[in-house]
Structure 1
Amino acid sequence: MMNLSLSNTRLSFPSPGRMMRCLRCPVAYHTGDSCVAAGSMVLTHHIMICSSHGIAKRNGLLSSPVNVNWCFLCARGEKLLCCVLCPASFHPECLEMAMPEGAWSCRECRSGRKPHYKQIVWVKLGNYRWWPAEICNPRLVPPNIQTLRHDIGAFPVFFFGSHDYYWINQGRVFPYVENDKTPVTGQININKTFKKALEEAARRFQELKAQRESREALEQERNSRKPPPYKFIKSNKPVGKVQVHIADLSEIPRCNCKPTDEHPCSLDSQCLNRMLQYECHPQVCLTGDSCENQCFSKRLYSETEVIKTEGCGWGLKTNQALRKGDFVTEYVGEVIDSEECQQRIKRAHENRVTDFYMLTLTKDRVIDAGPKGNSSRFINHSCSPNCETQKWTVNGDVRIGLFTLCDIEAGTELTFNYNLDLVGNRRSSCHCGAENCSGFLGVRPTKEEKARNAKLKPKKRKLRPEGKRTHEYFCFCCGEGGELVICDKKDCLKAYHLLCLNLTKPPYGRWECPWHDCSVCGVPASTLCDFCPRSFCRQHEGGALTPSTLEGRPCCSNHNPLIRPNTPTTLITPDMIHRSLSGSPFTTRRK
């Protein structure tokens, strides 16, 4: 027995368009048979009287519902709870509720779900058995059927098998589901007409299903030709308690450019404000309207176009050639605080939304270009980008702009490295195709990837101060790179994947990795394996480690002494993690 509350009435709605509104209540539908409830009285192209305003007849033929004598969930009879608006019946225990007092309506009726035209239903007419039929649009039935007397809320149905028409209402129909023979179960005397009706209903149901799937595929293909909808805005919009800072003119710094300069405050000038990423103010800068450091305020954006990319969804390309350091566009959206940001991320994860458009603006403010923004929201990530984000101070407030990192030809797609500045994304695969691709969005390349990229494009080597050490770029458990949690113990350079630690969330507070605790008893370790996180205290170190043939480095029994370094084969066990993490707060830092 199928759950009839999940019926074939759940159709996909078309995209927003012309609406038809009820004259007597706030109900509105998209124009077209797939949305307007059957039984509604259409007055004009935009006005109707919905089916909820039907007039009851004295004989009750078209108003009072005829409920089925079995439960819609378990298909058994006995004591049932009946809906007062449709034929649905349930056992209270199947709904996990007590028998209510007074009138009760089912969940489908409470949600306002109504029958639709071109829907296959089971119909109860007089003393006849439940019969399969199709709901018809009154405009498409024969003229003699149209002239039959009927009330608002009634609609014509076409009976399969007998090919008759009759006017009926919601109280005497319930949806037909695929291969449904529920009202026939247990019946012996099935005549040829009724058998023919069952065959025609099943065939017509498949035809309507194929038409609906074809429309949905066409709608999906049509939607794939244009970007997902969002509200275009020209400037950042604060949300809630977020404040936009406006500086006094006396607080805005003045640059050293002169009005006699050929290109004052330009990219090639020695403008002090530009060097400090401050935008000049027209009332403060001595060059006035000739100042070329007012790109944010004047919205001097480059000519760009939203395009469909292969494998990376929608992107943004430039329609003009750009020089290194040119201003492309401002990243615009809603400015929200940290609390609102976390709530939006939580709702997105609950709804399985994977696309995020959040950029960190300041310590406690985030720009979310998801619901509102400009074309900058379509710029894709790349591990080898041609643009970068820069935070500029404009009229006392911080704003984010995108600037080119190199000369870019017209028609080139614009990219920037999210580099963990993009908030909300979990560990997502990167498809940028760059030579130094880390494999994941916002994750720095591993040592091997950096070395491979260095061979392709040599760079000047920067001297590192003595004594300053950085953490490793690969997991000490699996030896692979990615988003890592690093140890906070002094002089420990080890890093781990959350999955390798069997953790679902990053630890909070100060955290020391399992390498520093005995793998047997959990007390501080005195001897450590150089090839995996296994370690031992003085009580258990006897015979636990043996010198490796590779430079005599200590190696536990789980490893071949000939194994090369930094390629561990043993993962941390849950017991090791529990002993290491219990009893202390955690912290996490991302590499």
Structure 2
Amino acid sequence: ICFHTCRLIRCIRCPLAYHTGDSCVAAGSVIITHHIMICSNHGSAKRNGLLSSPVNVGWCFLCARGGKLLCCDSCPASFHPECLEMEMPEGSWSCSDCRAGKKPHYKQIVWVKLGNYRWWPAEICNPRLVPSNIQSLRHDIGDFPVFFFGSHDYYWINQGRVFPYVENDKNFVTGQININKTFKKALEEAARRFQELKAQRESREALEQERNSRKPPPYKFIKSNKPVGKVQVHVADLSEIPRCNCRSTDEHPCSLDSQCLNRMLQYECHPQVCPAGDTCENQCFSKRLYAETEVIKTDGRGWGLRTNQALRKGDFVTEYVGEVIDSEECQQRIKRAHENHVTNFYMLTLTKDRVIDAGPKGNSSRFMNHSCSPNCETQKWTVNGDVRIGLFTLCDIEAGTELTFNYNLHCVGNRRTSCHCGSDNCSGFLGVQPTARNAKLKPKKRKMRMEGKHTHEYFCFCCGEGGELVMCDRKDCPKAYHLLCLNLTKPPYGRWECPWHDCSVCGAPASSLCDFCPRSFCRDHEAGALTASSLEDRPCCSSHNPLSPLGSSSSSTQPRRSAMSPAKVKEEPEESGQSATE
């Protein structure tokens, strides 16, 4: 629909994919999980055992006049062949919208043909938002419920009996004869609802356009690291700086292709010490010989950094610059960020007791995104007696490519942040080892037993969205939650088991669990609480329609109670990598 590449839900029977919102998903699609669906193209469209054809209108969609019409085989559209500047084709034919895969979507105003009634204005509704008695009516893949204006009735319909309502339809229909009060009321309600949805869409588009055109979040640009508080910057005496074995007569002394000992040991040469003098090519940090880069807006991962020049493997890209703080100040900043619900961090461990924070002050390197298959890496170099961090390429990179590196994020407690890098071996979370997808990437077997390690889901069990998640510590439980979905402001401390394992009624250990929400029941309260759903007989509670349990939950997204008690937590900066979210 919109061709953006954020979080997608994909059809398991064909290559179609949509965003998960009502404005993109084709009406009539059956949602199976938060990742997969069966799209509306796979409905049998049968009525009483016979394949039904669309109900085409009796006028041309372009000139609004009748006559000899060319009818679409998939929707009610009709056209004069001469209006399309074409000859009458033989056999089946579909209009341009159907050939392009354009489908009705939820919250769309349409004209609906039902039985012998006239074309009537209605709104397409999401099945999980209609009354339960409407949900239970028999319907097929590709069918969707509509709400008729004027009469306030619901009915299940398919694409072959609806076409879009446009802005001037009310004025066009009002001039016709035989318009009763109910139909006139329906026209007024449809026009009012159409303008309301249009205003919402324009407001959303304006906000999105403003957000896309907005400059990166404000920060102070600095060229070199700035110590904060008691932090000291070390400066070595010239006698302490190592001397390499290169010569000024070499073709490229101290270069990437040379045998410079300092470069091999990740020491930067000093111009007054290096035998090559001014011809030394191992002074990238001091001379700020950065690659040509540009801050760009990425799809679904905020701002990123792109190279405007081709780079070779091992090339120096830029230095990671920011405020140099101690461990105490680092913990204070992380604590304040969590209190203010800030999720973006720009911290890299410099030494055991020093951290670079590029959040308030830094250079363009702070915009480089994470990837499980990065094309750059961080390296710690000794420059003039002090440790500094540089970003170097891991492979040859073409101009115009986004630069990424692995954050190696250290997760505090059992909180994890979803990864959206899109790599084939993406682990799903920042700081988690990427997964192998082919034989070449297959990790070596370890003799040590990995107890208590299991894979968690990438999305919250309550709301189905990604982000910073709290993981259940119970063995073999894959569930994860947002703190807000659990009505919590602070993360759990120590070992924590999610509320799915406690009875929703009395809080006792649960023996029967709903597969579609965190509700569960103990032996005393499990009688009649769960029923088998249409999805592989998986149990579902009364909050779901057994025929479509994934789309009808009314209260399952609400947490039952807080299953944690606050306690102290120790925040520690990561050993290496950037504590940042994308």
Task: Give the TM interval when normalised to the shorter protein.
Answer: 0.3 to 0.5
Q: TM-score, normalised by structure 1?
A: 0.43
Tell me: higher relative CO, structure 1 or 2? Use CA pairs within 8 A at least 6 residues apart: 2
